[in-house]
């Protein structure tokens, strides 16, 4: 395993860092206050080829790898957690399943516009009664002639309000053991019967678009089935494994932002006649924060590297997601502590980082589910 960035990866990292610093960070507080995605950012990211980093050029991508994509997620997340979440959800959840499992026609029709930034991608798995327990999906799709007829409801779906299509998971039958067969179907968002409402008032990641989707006798051509009808469940588990690496990278980015602010504040804030960074209690906090961020980043790199090598990466992705998200929460919490009362004020941004990072312990499989995944890999 080689963690030294290639020249291309270094160039990409610098380009994204520069873009995020100039085009995202200055708006991050406003995005949070208004709870509104800044779509112009995504149009620009698309033009720069950053929305399709891990996909081949023939699909509008940059021909890069997961590793490079994670570098970009970290930089964007460092500038704005909400924008970072929408960025990661677009590539990992909206676009990747079509790249992994789609037909050539589906890739041309749906993946290319996403990679170019003409639309965002979204993945609708969660339902009011099926969160961690995705097998409990109630949305149903029934084949009627040449069309799927879909009925159900999805909640908290990232980017759906800015997507031309959402990948919807739905029960399409029963296995011999009585368990549901859950399949994935690409549903254009302008299909009659599909209602998308994006009115959630969220705690954090407020710059990401989050929607409820109601499907009332929605009809789509049977060719919109994504991949193997009977393997929908394993397909989305693979998708989520990949997505977890990007949530880990996003956690590292948010934590890095909070850490840098805490370090700077600690050098400037004077109490008892000296800057608080001279107190060992503060130094130890900063040392722990820096160490934990670096360890999480290394685990992101390891998981991404394994995926890029075509090796099994599910356990390492769960390690990365679990450790990075919980590390991020600790780091953002300590960043507030180092700021004292100032940290409790919006002006200093660290309270936003804490609100943003909390989602990382919940989305794409909660911390409890990550521990279950790891335990399963251990043969428990
Ligand atoms: C801002 C935001 C964006 C999101 N974006 C998307 C998206 O784009 N697409 C999508 O499909 N979903 C999305 N989600 C949904 C997210 O993935 C779910 O919230 C998450 O998977 C948890 O499901 P739940 O909220 O129903 O919690 P539940 O599954 O009800 O869990 C509640 C609690 O019980 C615990 N628990 C559940 N089962 C077990 C168990 N077996 N053992 C131990 N503990 C358990 C959980 O860990 C948690 O602590 C988003 C959510 C949010 C908040």
From 97, 122, 128, 131, the mutation candidate for ligand 1 (largest count of ligand atoms within 8 A of CB) is: 131
Mean pLDDT, residues 68-97 taken together: 98
Q: What is the pLDDT of residue 335?
A: 98
Question: Which residue, by CA, sits nearest to atom 9 of ligand 1?
Answer: 157
The catalytic residues are 364
| Angle formed at CA 126 by CA 190 and CA 252, multiple of 5 degrees | 105
**What SS3 class is residue 187?**
strand
pTM of the model: 0.97
How far is it, in rounded angstroms, from Cα 32 to Cα 277? 29
What is the atom index within ligand 1 of the atom nearest the CA of 125?
11
Mean pLDDT, residues 150-171 taken together: 98
> From the CA of 282, how far away is ligand 1's center (Å)?
35
pLDDT tens for 71-81 read 999 999 999 99
Residue 374, pLDDT > 80, answer yes
Q: What is the pLDDT of residue 313?
A: 97
> From the CA of 185, how far away is ligand 1's center (Å)?
21
> From the CA of 363, how far away is ligand 1's center (Å)?
6
Mean pLDDT, residues 375-379 taken together: 97
Residue 233, pLDDT > 90, answer no
Token representation of residue 265: 């504040």
Phi-psi domain of 310 (left: phi exceeds 0; alpha: psi -120 through 50; beta: other): left
pLDDT above 70 covers a percentage of the chain that reads: 99
Mean pLDDT, residues 20-48 taken together: 96
DSSP string, 94-156: IIHHHHHH--HHHIIIIIHHHHHTSSEEEEE--BTTBSS-GGG---EEEEETTEEEEEEEEEE
Residue 7, pLDDT > 70, answer yes
From 126, 155, 243, 365, the mutation candidate for ligand 1 (largest count of ligand atoms within 8 A of CB) is: 126
Residue 218, pLDDT > 80, answer yes
Residue 1, pLDDT > 80, answer no
Mean pLDDT, residues 35-44 taken together: 96
Element (H, E) at 297: helix 280-308
Element (H, E) at 218: strand 210-221
DSSP string, 9-77: HHHHHHHHHHHIIIIIGGGHHHHHHHT---HHHHHHHHHTT-SSTTS-GGGTS----HHHHHHHHHHHH
What is the atom index within ligand 1 of the atom nearest the CA of 202?
1
**What SS3 class is residue 268?**
helix
CA distances from 174 to 128, 148, 180, 224 (A): 21, 16, 5, 20
> From the CA of 127, how far away is ligand 1's center (Å)?
9
Mean pLDDT, residues 355-373 taken together: 98
- Which residues line the pocket of ligand 1, CB cutoff 6 A? 89, 93, 123-126, 131-132, 156-158, 202, 205, 210, 359, 362-366, 368-369, 372
> From the CA of 134, how far away is ligand 1's center (Å)?
9
Average pLDDT across the chain, whole number: 96
Check: CB of residue 91 under 8 Å from CB of residue 246. yes
Phi-psi domain of 337 (left: phi exceeds 0; alpha: psi -120 through 50; beta: other): alpha
Q: What is the pLDDT of residue 4?
A: 84
Q: Which residues of 157-183 are buried (b: 16+ CB within 10 A; e: fewer)?
A: bbbbbbbbbbbbbbbbeeeeeeebebb
> From the CA of 126, how far away is ligand 1's center (Å)?
7
What is the atom index within ligand 1 of the atom nearest the CA of 200?
1
pLDDT tens for 298-354 read 999 999 999 999 999 999 999 999 999 999 999 999 999 999 999 999 999 999 999
Lowest mean pLDDT among 36-40, 95-99, 232-236, 316-320: 232-236
Question: Which residue, by CA, sits nearest to atom 29 of ligand 1?
Answer: 132
How far is it, in rounded angstroms, from Cα 338 to Cα 345? 13
Check: CB of residue 285 under 8 Å from CB of residue 265. no
From 77, 81, 83, 132, the mutation candidate for ligand 1 (largest count of ligand atoms within 8 A of CB) is: 132
Check: CB of residue 183 under 8 Å from CB of residue 169. yes
Residue 268, pLDDT > 90, answer yes
pLDDT above 90 covers a percentage of the chain that reads: 96
Q: What is the pLDDT of residue 2?
A: 59
How far is it, in rounded angstroms, from Cα 51 to Cα 267? 37
**Closest by Cα among 78, 119, 84, 111 to 95:** 111
**Closest by Cα among 27, 33, 79 to 346:** 33
**Closest by Cα among 214, 216, 223, 227 to 145:** 223
Q: Tell me how long the chain is.
A: 380
How far is it, in rounded angstroms, from Cα 285 to Cα 334? 7
Torsion angles phi and psi, residue 168, rounded to 5: -110, 135
């Amino acid at each position: 395993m080689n963690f030294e960035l290639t020249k291309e990866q270094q160039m990409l990292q610098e380009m994204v860092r520069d873009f995020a610093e100039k085009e995202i960070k200055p708006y991050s507080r406003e995005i949070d206050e208004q709870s509104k995605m800044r779509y112009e950012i995504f149009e620009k990211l698309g033009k720069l080829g950053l929305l399709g980093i891990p996909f081949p050029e023939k699909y509008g991508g940059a021909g890069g790898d997961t590793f490079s994509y994670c570098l970009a997620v970290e930089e964007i997340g460092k500038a704005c957690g909400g924008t970072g979440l929408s960025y990661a959800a677009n590539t990992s959840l909206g676009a990747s399943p079509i790249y992994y499992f789609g037909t050539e026609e589906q890739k041309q029709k749906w993946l290319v516009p996403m990679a170019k930034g003409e639309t965002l991608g979204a993945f609708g798995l969660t339902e009011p009664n099926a969160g961690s327990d995705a097998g409990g999906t109630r949305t149903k799709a029934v084949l009627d002639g040449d069309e799927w007829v879909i009925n159900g409801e999805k909640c908290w779906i990232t980017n759906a309000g800015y997507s031309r299509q959402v990948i919807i998971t739905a029960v399409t039958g029963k296995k011999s053991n009585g368990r549901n067969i859950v399949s994935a179907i690409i549903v254009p968002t302008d299909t009659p019967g599909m209602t998308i409402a994006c009115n959630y008032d969220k705690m954090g990641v407020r710059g990401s678009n989050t929607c409820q989707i109601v499907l009332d006798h929605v009809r789509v051509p049977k060719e919109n089935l994504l991949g193997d009808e009977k393997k929908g469940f394993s397909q989305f588990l693979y998708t989520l494994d990949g997505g977890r690496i990007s949530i880990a990278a996003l956690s590292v980015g948010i934590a890095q932002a909070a850490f840098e602010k805490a370090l700077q504040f600690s050098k400037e804030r004077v109490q008892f006649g000296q800057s608080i960074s001279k107190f060992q209690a503060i130094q130890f906090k900063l040392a722990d924060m820096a160490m934990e961020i670096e360890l999480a980043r290394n685990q992101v790199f390891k998981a991404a590297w394994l995926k890029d090598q075509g090796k099994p990466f599910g356990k390492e992705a769960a390690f990365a997601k679990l450790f990075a998200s919980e590390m991020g929460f600790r780091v953002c919490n300590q960043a507030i502590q180092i700021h004292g009362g100032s940290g409790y004020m919006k002006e200093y941004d660290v309270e936003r980082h804490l609100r943003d990072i909390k989602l990382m312990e919940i989305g794409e499989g909660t911390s409890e589910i990550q521990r279950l995944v790891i335990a399963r890999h251990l043969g428990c």
